[in-house]
Structure 1
Amino acid sequence: MKFILFLAALIIIFLLAYIVSNNKREIKLKPIIIMLVLQLLLSFLLLNTEFGLVIIRGISTLFDHLLSYAAEGINFVFGGIANEGAGPFFLNVLLPIVFISVLIGIAQYIKVLPIIIRYLGLVLSKINGLGKLESYNAVASAVFGQSEVFISVKKQLPYIPEHRLYTLCTSAMSTVSASILGAYMTMIEPKYVITALVLNLFGGFIIANIINPYTVSPEEDIIEVQEGGKQTFFEMLGEYILDGFKVAIIVAAMLIGFVALIGMINQVFASIFGISFQVALGYVFAPLAFVIGVPASEVVKAGTIMATKLLSNEFVAMIDLGKISTSLSNRTVGIISVFLVSFANFSSIGIIAGAVKGLNEKQGNVVARFGIKLLYGATLVSLLTAAVTGIML
């Protein structure tokens, strides 16, 4: 049954992408098939093999150590604020982002990270049917995040045509930044975080190849990375520490606003219609939850979490998933967990458009114009990742 559902999910997801395609005649099937096979192989490796288990445990252990180191700095500054045995979300989940950001800055400073990103991008460009710049950007997005990544292509940004810009933005919205992986791992199982991170990379290329197919000429296909002015080591540390803290504060502020707003809407909606707004949306998303492999008895609960993520952000949805996870099967928890690991939500349209506009106003306006289509594509990426995961659970 799950194989039939998986085939149905592929047909529906690809059809939804095909309907809004810019150039249906230019869709290249070969790279789509290759990347779908890679998704299946990688998901099987990560979720169902001893080797994959070793990889997941290794990454999980690494982040456990990093979070424990981060806790030393947090406890030094905020020790005594929390009650004995308490674990405030801001202290335990968000503030470790500061330390992870510092490590990324160090890897960037000693030139390890740029080399990894560049050559991974070159390898990906051989199989995804797109350009080197798109491949570089996808890998860089998974490290720097959806807004910061555009700084690395600042020099090229004014000259990137709209069709290529859409693909760059889809990659940015479909992935998540390395600095918040540790935060996710405190909320959902690490194996689902890593699986989603890998699958989303290829999923972004698959959906982009359907919605936005094109061919890049060798003359256009040049990677020029913005290095910026030379900083001293301690200037870099200060910059990345502050950047990490800004991210933590921004996420905290968004959570306060979104959780409060959803609470108010639910209360008003329930008083009028007898059910909460989130549950009502759960019924809308239930068919999608079913087709990606969620058992029929749990589709409304799963659909509610999916809708929450789209309307607010992945943190709010992960919190809600944690509250009801004991009432769901392991299969449903796994499928919905990987669906949540991306930046595909309405607020990300503003974040990406604002980031690009800060670097180039004209291109920022272009991004704002295709913002809904961008979210549409990134959501299909999350559905594809969830469907591929569902066939392996």
Structure 2
Amino acid sequence: MFRLENAQSLLGLGLILVVCWALSEDRSRFPWRLALGAVAVQVMLVLGLFGLPGARSVVRGINAGVDGLAAATAQGTQFVFGYMAGGAQPYAVTDEGALFVFAFQVLPLILVISALSALLWHWKILKWITQGFGFVFQKTMGLGGASALAVAVNIFLGMIESPIVIRAYLDKLTRSEVFLMIVVGLATVAGSTMVAYATILREVLPNAAAHVLVASIVSAPAGVLLARIMVPEKKGQGGYFADYGSLLKYDSSIDAISKGTMDGLTVALNISAILIVFVSFVAIGNGLLSAFPDVLGAPLTIERVLGVVFAPLAWLIGVPWAEAPQAGYLLGVKLMLTEFIAFIQLGGVPAEAMTERTRMIMTYALCGFANIGSVGITVTGMGVLMPERRAEIIGMVWKALLAGFLATCMTAAVVGAMPRELFGL
């Protein structure tokens, strides 16, 4: 059933496209066919998982798979850290909630999923899936073979792995294709972090694993569209053919597991360091703001400031105005800090303080690497792979950050425009 809340999301979708068009390098060339195709692909992907007969069984399977991975990871973590990781407690437990320790319950998942992803890539399973998505993107959105493959890889691996996969073609990519690759990398998340996000939300959002997986997949077409709007491809350029070979190779299964584990360790350590630093900075900022007088009867905090700034955007993607300040704060945290902190904050919002529909919409809006910290990662990683184009990358990365951030908001708006009954709400 179509409701006013769905029209609200459609308004947000339209305004996002208008903003990107206003910032376009060539406003005379709006890709109408791509816009219709990208939104159609998003809708079909969401309907395919949540609306088709048997979809509920697939959703249950995804959630069961994530629960199984979390349980298996818990056994390995408890073997190393014992009762600190949730194993048998040597003392009487008076607060079960205190047993959840982020470093032991969430971060180890990144190690396991990273190693598993590398193993599946070596066995060519993940490579076949990626190439399948690349073929779909190539045919439905007119991407060149190299760009289509990079977009597909971003869904499952990450924004630095994708240029490695097509490294042989990086010097042949046009400015528009490089921009597209950066935007999609910022608009999606890696498979290793998907499971971590689902674990954080599984107690507060039904079918959290399915929503997180779909969020990363359907944000790829959104990233492609907004990238093409802001930096259009010049006629007769781009579309370089790729033979779908890859420089991302492992010598054996053991080599894949070992290197995947080390890559996961790097990610986990980086996340740990970023969380410590940024949470501390927020506390410092709130301490400084406490010197100012109260505003509207409450102390001035970073959370309140971000809530005010981003509340209109939260409303536009489909969040009720009563919940928009809280949702706007989460959008601000995602952009200014990291999506990991935003997901932790979302998972900590009491059930009575946020409806399931708002929580679902925010899951899609937050599921992407578009944050200020990722700008440095992008410039560093792609600067190493494309040293001759480093200045060009630096010149477009901030625009790419905005496009990547709006791409996840566009995905949230598309989901918000669909009937809530589709998601069992």
For 2:266, give the aligned amino acid. Answer: K
Q: Partner of 2:213 in structure 1?
A: 194
| Farther off after superposition, 77-86 or 62-71 | 77-86
Equivalent position amino acid for 1:386 in 2: A
| CA distance, structure 2, for counterparts of residue 76 and residue 99 of structure 1 | 14
Once the two structures are overlaid, the 10-residue window that deviates more, 190-199 or 211-220, is: 211-220
269 and 52 in structure 1: CA distance in 2 versus 1, 3 angstrom threshold? farther
Q: Which stretch shifts more, 283-292 or 228-237?
A: 228-237
Letter in 2 for 1:257: V
1:370 is displaced (CA, Å) by 1.1
| 1:223-262 paired onto structure 2 within 5 Å | 223=243, 225-227=245-247, 231-262=251-282
Q: Counterpart in 1 of 2:92?
A: none
Question: What aligned pairs does 1:129-144 form with structure 2 within 5 A after superposition?
Answer: 129-144=142-157
239-248 or 228-237: bigger deviation: 228-237
Whole-angstrom distance in 1 between the partners of 2:250 and 2:85: 41
CA separation in 1, counterparts of 2:289 and 2:143? 45
Query: Aligned runs of 1:123-162 on 2, under 5 Å?
Result: 123-162=136-175
Q: Identify which range, 324-333 or 252-261, moves more after superposition.
A: 324-333
Q: What is the DSSP-based 3-state SS (H/G/I as helix, E as strand, rest coil) of the residue aligned with 2:242?
A: coil
Q: Which residue of 2 aligns with 1:41?
A: 44
Secondary structure of the 2:142 match is: coil
Cα deviation for residue 113 of structure 1 reads 2.2
The CA RMSD measured in Å over matched residues stands at: 2.0
- Could you say which residue in structure 2 is the equivalent of 1:205? 224
Quickly say closer, same or farther: Cα 1:148–1:325, change in 2 above 3 A: farther
> Quick one: structure 1 residues 30 and 106, their matched pair in 2 at CA, closer, same or farther if it must change by over 3 Å?
same
Q: Summarize the Cα distance change of 1:114–1:41 in structure 2 as closer, same or farther, 3 Å threshold.
A: closer
1:351 and 2:377 correspond? yes
Alignment partner of 1:385 out of 406, 411, 420: 411
User: Residue 195 of structure 2 aligns to which amino acid in structure 1?
Assistant: G
Residue 68 of structure 1 is matched in structure 2 by 71
Whole-angstrom CA distance in 2 between matches of 1:23 and 1:225: 34
1:131 and 1:216 in contact (8 A); partners too: no
Mapped pair 1:103 → 2:116: yes
> How far, CA to CA, are the matches of 1:271 and 1:52 in structure 2?
53
Q: With the length of structure 1 as denominator, give the TM-score of the two structures.
A: 0.94
Paired residue for 1:305, among 311, 330, 339? 330
Give the Cα–Cα distance (whole angstroms) in 2 for the partners of residues 223 and 170 of structure 1: 23
Q: Distance in 1 between matches of 2:104 and 2:389?
A: 37
Find the aligned partners of 1:87 and 1:58 in 2 and give their Cα distance. Answer: 25
- Equivalenced residue count is 393
Task: Indicate if the aligned counterparts of 1:193 and 1:341 stay in contact, CA closer than 8 A.
Answer: yes
Aligned twin of 2:10 = 7
% identical equivalent positions: 26
| Runs of at least 5 residues in structure 2 that lack an aligned partner in the other structure | 90-95, 202-207, 295-299, 421-425
* TM-score, normalising length: structure 2: 0.87
Match in the other structure for 1:117: 130
How far the C-alpha of 1:13 sits from its partner, in A, is 0.5
2: CA distance between counterparts of 1:297 and 1:374? Answer: 31
Secondary structure of the corresponding residue to residue 344 of structure 1? coil
CA distance in 2, matches of 1:345, 1:290: 20
Deviation at residue 46 of structure 1 after TM alignment: 3.5
Is 1:341 equivalent to 2:367 in the alignment? yes
Contact kept, 8 Å, 2:334 with 2:366, in 1: the verdict is yes
Q: CA deviation at 1:191?
A: 3.2
Once the two structures are superposed, what CA deviation does each residue of 1:90-113 show, in whole Å capped at 9, x if it has no partner? 111111111111111111112222
C-alpha distance in structure 1 between counterparts of 2:390 and 2:293, whole Å? 40
Please say which of residues 148-157 and 211-220 is displaced more in the overlay. Answer: 211-220
Give the equivalent residue in structure 2 for 1:80. Answer: 83
Deviation at 1:226, TM superposition (A): 3.5
Letter in 2 for 1:246: T
Which one of 346, 353, 368 corresponds to residue 321 of structure 1?
346
| Aligned mates of 1:127, 1:181 — CA distance in 2 | 25
Pairwise CA distance, 1:210: 1.4
Could you tell me how far 1:304 is from its partner in structure 2?
0.7
Cα distance in 1, alignment partners of residues 405 and 321 from structure 2: 21
Alignment partner of 1:331 is 2:331:
no
**Would the alpha carbon gap of residues 230 and 311 (structure 1) be closer, same or farther in structure 2, given more than 3 Å must change?**
closer
Note the C-alpha offset of 1:52: 3.0
- When residues 339 and 155 of structure 1 are mapped into structure 2, their CA distance, relative to the original with a 3 A threshold, is same
Give me the whole-angstrom Cα distance separating, in 1, the residues matched to 2:306 and 2:248. Answer: 45
| 8 Å contact kept, 1:174–1:378 | yes
Q: CA deviation at 1:47?
A: 4.2
Contact 2:145/2:239 (8 A) holds in 1 = no
Do the aligned partners of residues 3 and 241 (structure 1) sit closer, same or farther apart at CA in structure 2, a change above 3 Å counting?
A: closer
